[in-house]
C-alpha cells in the first residue's frame, strides 16, 4: 500500500481524463502531460509549471475544469473514481487529513512557541489502522477562535520558528553544541536526555528563510536520517546556515539501517549520550556544500569517462552486444530458427558462433511457435557436438505460448522468471543470464497488427523493458516480407532494433556435398561493421527412432565444405589477421602433405577427418618464416615463438583450430578470404624413421605452451 488516499492513488488517471494521454518517458515519480504539466503518482499531486499552480485531485478539477464542491464529486463519480457521500462543503483538497474517510486519531502534538514561550502553531501526528498496518501522517494547525473547534489547519502568515525555540536560544547563548535532527520526536528524546536539539517544522525538504537568523553564532551538528531525503535536507539546511552559524559539522551515525534515525540509534541499537559525544569528537566532519551534480536523467561527466559504469560489451564478438534488443530475420525454411538455436547454445557453452567468439552466459529460449520441434533441434545439436546427455548447460527452454503484446502478465512473469534463472545460472554455472531468444516475434504478438506502429511499438517497448531490467540481450526471431527484402510488418521496426541479422539460403550456391549455403548477414550492427556475413549449411542428424523404427531427424548448423560456386568466393567467415592467415596456411599445408587419420584415443568430433602432429606444423611454420627474420638465432626463435603462440591461442579461442598435444587440426570453421584444403589424408605407412623436423623445432617447444 502507498499510504495515499483513494483519490490520490488515482491522480494519474484523473489527470489523463483532464489533460489527455501522458507523454513518453514517465518515471516512478513523474508523469508528463502536454506542455509543462506533471503528476507525481507517489504523492498523488500535480503541477502546472506554466501557470505556477498545483495540488491534489480536487484542486485539479477546479483549476482545469472549473469544478468545485458537489459538481466536482459528481464528475468523479461519473468517471468511476472512488468518492464517498460526504457533503462537498465539508471537503478540502489540502491537508486536513483527519477529515478523510478513515478514522484517524491524534497520536502526538508538538507545540511551536515564540521567544516568550507563547504557542504559535502545533505539529500534529495522526495514526490509524489500514489493511492490518499502522499508518501515520502529519498536519499543522494554529489557534483560531473563529472556527468551531478553535483550530485552523492553514498556517497563513503565522511566524515560523525552530522547534523548542526558547531552549534553543538559551543553548546558543551558552555556546552549547546544537544537534539538528529530523522530526520533533527525535528532538524530544534528545532533550529528555539533556542533549540540546532542534528541528524545522514540516519535515525534510522544507525551509523558510525566516528560520535562518535563529541560528546566528550556533555550533551545529547535523544528525540526518539514513536515506536520500535526509542527505538532501542536511545539505539544504547547511546551505541556509552557511555564514550564519559559528560552526557546522556532519555526523553519520553507525549501525543505522535504511531510513533509521537518531531515535532508532538510541532505542534500537543501544546508543548513549556519552557515545554520541564521543562520535562527535572522533567522527564528525566539518560540513561542506555538496557540489555533486544530481541530475534526474542518467549522465556521465567528461571527467568520469574512465570510472566504472555500464559499458559496451560484446556477447558475440562484432555481432551481438550485451543488454540490448536484436533481431534475426529470414524467409520461412531458410534456417533462421536453426541459426538462433545454434547461437543460443554457443553462448550457453561459451564456444564461437559461426567463427565469432562468444562470452559464456545463461540463455532462455522461448519457443513460442513450435516448442516440440525445438526439442528435436536441441537433441540434434547435442548429438552432433557429442555432448553427453548428463552434461548440464545454462540453457532454459520455454516451450509454450508467450504474449509480448496483450496483457502485461507474460512480461511480468518473464521478468520474475529471469531473476530466478539468473540466480540459478550464477550459483550452478558461475555465469549470469545473458541472452533471451523469442522465437518467433509473430507468435509472441498474437492479436497485434504487425503493420501498426502502436501495436509493434508496444511489443518492442516490453522487449526493451526485459532487456533493461535483466541486462540480457533480447533477440527476436522474425519473418521477412514477401519479397525477402526486409523484416515483415511495420516499416519502423528496424529503427527500434539495435542489431539485425538476416538469414538467406542460396539454392544455386552449394557446397561440394550439394547442400545449399546459407548466409547470416549483419544488415544492421549498431556497434560493429554492417554487411559482414557468415556461412553455414544444414546437416541432417538422426535423433532417435520412432515406434516403427523409422529415424527421427533434425538439422544442425555446420560450416560448409568447399564452396564451388565460382561467383561467390570466400567473402564470409572469420576475419583473421595477417599473422593468423600465415599460421593457418601453414597448418593447412601441413595437414595436406603430412596429415593423418585421427588416432582412436584422440577425442575429436566425427566430422574431423584428418589431424597433423604439432611438431610437423611447427616445422612448416619455421621453414617458411625464419628466413624473413633478422637478428641473432635467439632473437629469431623468440619472435617465431611469440608469433606462433599468439596465432595458436587466438585460433583455438575462436574455434578455427583444435589442439591436443601432440595433435592439431582445422575445425572447418570458415575464414574470410581463405580456402583451407579439406582433401582426405593419405594413410602414411610407418618407415621406422624418426619424426621429421622434431629436433629442428626443439627451441620452439621450450618457449611455447600449446595446451
Query: pLDDT digit string (tens) for 30-75?
Result: 888 876 788 888 888 988 776 678 899 999 988 888 888 888 888 8
What is the dihedral angle through the alpha carbons of 31, 34, 36, 37, rounded to the nearest 10 degrees? -50
- Higher-confidence residue of 254 and 600: namely 254
Q: What are phi and psi of 165, to 5 degrees?
A: -60, -50
Q: Is the pTM value of this prediction over 0.85?
A: no
Residues 605 and 660 sit within 8 Å (Cβ to Cβ): no
Contact 258/317 with Cβ under 8 angstroms? no
Over residues 471-523, the pLDDT tens digits come to: 999 999 999 887 777 888 888 888 888 889 999 887 778 777 778 899 998 88
Q: Name, in order, each residue with C-beta under 8 angstroms of 241's C-beta and a sequence gap of 6 or more.
A: 212, 215, 218, 220, 248
Contact 505, 465 (CB under 8 A): no
Question: How far is 165 from 169, CA to CA, in rounded Å?
Answer: 6
DSSP, res 251: -
Would you mind telling me the total number of residues written for the chain in this entry?
A: 707
What is the band of 149 on the pLDDT scale with cuts at 50, 70, 90?
confident
Interval 384-401: pLDDT, tens: 888 888 889 999 999 888
Identify which of 361, 373, 362 has the alpha carbon closest to the alpha carbon of residue 337. 373
| CA–CA gap between residue 509 and residue 517 (Å, rounded) | 6
> CA 642, 645, 646, 647 torsion: positive or negative?
positive
Position with higher pLDDT, 685 vs 268: 268
Are the CB atoms for 618 and 648 separated by under 8 Å?
Answer: no
- Distance of alpha carbon 605 from alpha carbon 384, whole angstroms: 8
C-alpha 61: how far from chain center: 39
Handedness of CA 635, 637, 640, 643 (dihedral sign): negative
Alpha-carbon distances, residue 320 vs 146, 472, 478, 488, 559 (angstroms): 73, 11, 16, 21, 20
pLDDT of 97 higher than 80: no
What pLDDT was estimated at residue 69?
A: 83
pLDDT at 161: 96
Q: What is the pLDDT of residues 532-558, one digit of tens each?
A: 888 899 988 888 888 888 888 899 998
Q: Which range among 301-305, 463-467, 556-560, 702-706 shows the weakest confidence by mean pLDDT?
A: 702-706
% residues pLDDT > 70 (the chain): 88
Amino acid at each position: 500500500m502507498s499510504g495515499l488516499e483513494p483519490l490520490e492513488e488515482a491522480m494519474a488517471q484523473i489527470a489523463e481524463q483532464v489533460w489527455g494521454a501522458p507523454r513518453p518517458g514517465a518515471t516512478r515519480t513523474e508523469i508528463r502531460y502536454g506542455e509543462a504539466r506533471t503528476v507525481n503518482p507517489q504523492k498523488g499531486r500535480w503541477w502546472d509549471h506554466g501557470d505556477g499552480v498545483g495540488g491534489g485531485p480536487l484542486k485539479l478539477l477546479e483549476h482545469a475544469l472549473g469544478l468545485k464542491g458537489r459538481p466536482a464529486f459528481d464528475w468523479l463519480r461519473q468517471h468511476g473514481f472512488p468518492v464517498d457521500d460526504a457533503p462537498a462543503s465539508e471537503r478540502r483538497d489540502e491537508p486536513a487529513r483527519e477529515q478523510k474517510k478513515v478514522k484517524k486519531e491524534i497520536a502526538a502534538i508538538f507545540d511551536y512557541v515564540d521567544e516568550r514561550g507563547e504557542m504559535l502553531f502545533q505539529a500534529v501526528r495522526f495514526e490509524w489502522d489500514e489493511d492490518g498496518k499502522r499508518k501515520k501522517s502529519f498536519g499543522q494547525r494554529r489557534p483560531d477562535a473563529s472556527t468551531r473547534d478553535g483550530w485552523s489547519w492553514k498556517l497563513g502568515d503565522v511566524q515560523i520558528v525552530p522547534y523548542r525555540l526558547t531552549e534553543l536560544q538559551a543553548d546558543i547563548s551558552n555556546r552549547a553544541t546544537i544537534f539538528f535532527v529530523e522530526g520533533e520526536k527525535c528532538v524530544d528524546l534528545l532533550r529528555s536526555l539533556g542533549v540540546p536539539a532542534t528541528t524545522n517544522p514540516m519535515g525534510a525538504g522544507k525551509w523558510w528563510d525566516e528560520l535562518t537568523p535563529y541560528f546566528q553564532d550556533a555550533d551545529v551538528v547535523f544528525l540526518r536520517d539514513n536515506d536520500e531525503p535526509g542527505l538532501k535536507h542536511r545539505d539544504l539546511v547547511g546551505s541556509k546556515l552557511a555564514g550564519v552559524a559559528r560552526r557546522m559539522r556532519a555526523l553519520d551515525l553507525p549501525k543505522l539501517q535504511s531510513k533509521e534515525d537518531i531515535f532508532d540509534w538510541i532505542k534500537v541499537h543501544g546508543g548513549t549520550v556519552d557515545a554520541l559525544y564521543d562520535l562527535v569528537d572522533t567522527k564528525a566532519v566539518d560540513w561542506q556544500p555538496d557540489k555533486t551534480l544530481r541530475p534526474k536523467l542518467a549522465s556521465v561527466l567528461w571527467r568520469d569517462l574512465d570510472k566504472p559504469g555500464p559499458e559496451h560489451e560484446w556477447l558475440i564478438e562484432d555481432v551481438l552486444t550485451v543488454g540490448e534488443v536484436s533481431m534475426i530475420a529470414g524467409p520461412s525454411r531458410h534456417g533462421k530458427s536453426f541459426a538462433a538455436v545454434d547461437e543460443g547454445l554457443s553462448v550457453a557453452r561459451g564456444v564461437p558462433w559461426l567463427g565469432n567468439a562468444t562470452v559464456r552466459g545463461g540463455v532462455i529460449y522461448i519457443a513460442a511457435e513450435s516448442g516440440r520441434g525445438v526439442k528435436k533441434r536441441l537433441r540434434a545439436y547435442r548429438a552432433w557436438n557429442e555432448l553427453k546427455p548428463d552434461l548440464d548447460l545454462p540453457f532454459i527452454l520455454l516451450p509454450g505460448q508467450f504474449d509480448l503484446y496483450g496483457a502485461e502478465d507474460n512480461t511480468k512473469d518473464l521478468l520474475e522468471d529471469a531473476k530466478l534463472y539468473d540466480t540459478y545460472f550464477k550459483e550452478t554455472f558461475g555465469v549470469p543470464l545473458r541472452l533471451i531468444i523469442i522465437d518467433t516475434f509473430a507468435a509472441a504478438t498474437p492479436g497485434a497488427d504487425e503493420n501498426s506502429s502502436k501495436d509493434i511499438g508496444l511489443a518492442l517497448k516490453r522487449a526493451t523493458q526485459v532487456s533493461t531490467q535483466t541486462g540480457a540481450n533480447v533477440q527476436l526471431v522474425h519473418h521477412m516480407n514477401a519479397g525477402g527484402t526486409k523484416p515483415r510488418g511495420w516499416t519502423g521496426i528496424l529503427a527500434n532494433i539495435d542489431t539485425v541479422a538476416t538469414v538467406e539460403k542460396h539454392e544455386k550456391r552449394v557446397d561440394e556435398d550439394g547442400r545449399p549455403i546459407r548466409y547470416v548477414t549483419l544488415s544492421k550492427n549498431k556497434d560493429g561493421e554492417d554487411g559482414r556475413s557468415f556461412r553455414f549449411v544444414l546437416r541432417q542428424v538422426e535423433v532417435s527412432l520412432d515406434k516403427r523404427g523409422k529415424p527421427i531427424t533434425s538439422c544442425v548448423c555446420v560450416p560448409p565444405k568447399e564452396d564451388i560456386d565460382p561467383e561467390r568466393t570466400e567473402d564470409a567467415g572469420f576475419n583473421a589477421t595477417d599473422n593468423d592467415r600465415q599460421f593457418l596456411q601453414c597448418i593447412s599445408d601441413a595437414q595436406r602433405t603430412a596429415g593423418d587419420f585421427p588416432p582412436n584415443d584422440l577425442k575429436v568430433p566425427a566430422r574431423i577427418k584428418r589431424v597433423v602432429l604439432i611438431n610437423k606444423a611447427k616445422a612448416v611454420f619455421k621453414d617458411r618464416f625464419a628466413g624473413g627474420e633478422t637478428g641473432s638465432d635467439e632473437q629469431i626463435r623468440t619472435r617465431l615463438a611469440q608469433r606462433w603462440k599468439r596465432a595458436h591461442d587466438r585460433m583455438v579461442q575462436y574455434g578455427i583450430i583444435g589442439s591436443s598435444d601432440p595433435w592439431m587440426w582445422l575445425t572447418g570453421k570458415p575464414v574470410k578470404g581463405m580456402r583451407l584444403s579439406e582433401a582426405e589424408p593419405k594413410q602414411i605407412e610407418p618407415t621406422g624413421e624418426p619424426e621429421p623436423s622434431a629436433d629442428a623445432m626443439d627451441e620452439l617447444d621450450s618457449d611455447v605452451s600449446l595446451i
